Amino acid sequence: METKPNRIKGSKSGNSCIKEVVIDKKPTNLLLEPGAFFSCVGKSVLKKLAPNFEDQVLPIDGIKFNSARNPKEELGIFETTVVLPHINGNLIINVKSFVMENCSSTHFILGNNYLIMYGIDLHNNKDRYFTIADN
């Protein structure tokens, strides 16, 4: 896995902002999703990263989630470390994400709660890229 992109900034071509990252010391794909208010991960995706994740999930009470497609069944909160490669060095983020039973995404989703906190901006030009604190 590359630790820094080959081109300037965090270049991504294609139709979505999927970035190869390291989560719990394992390379995986992360979706930078400004349309998601919170960070989340589907049970099936998390099972690949942390097969015994059920032992690490923190309970949540009284929170209900919805998406444009259907209500989501939340299982709890999973804490992990995400290493996001960037041209100016790796950004290490301690992420608390909601684990969803019926999440259709095949990626770990980093939502607006962390995008705003770390100053991650997505740019949709000819070459899709992201910046961290204007870099």
Q: Which residues of 67-90 are buried (b: 16+ CB within 10 A; e: fewer)?
A: eeeeebebbebbebebbbbbbeee
Averaged confidence pLDDT in the chain? 82
Max Cα–Cα distance, the chain, nearest Å? 45
pTM comes to 0.78
What is the per-residue pLDDT for 1?
42
- Higher per-residue pLDDT: 8 or 72: 72
For residues 87 and 61, the answer to whether their CB atoms sit within 8 Å is no
Query: pLDDT tens for residues 48-98?
Result: 999 999 999 999 877 777 666 666 788 999 999 999 988 888 999 999 999
Q: Which domains occur in the chain, in start order? A: 10-132 (2.40.70.10)
What is the per-residue pLDDT for 88?
81
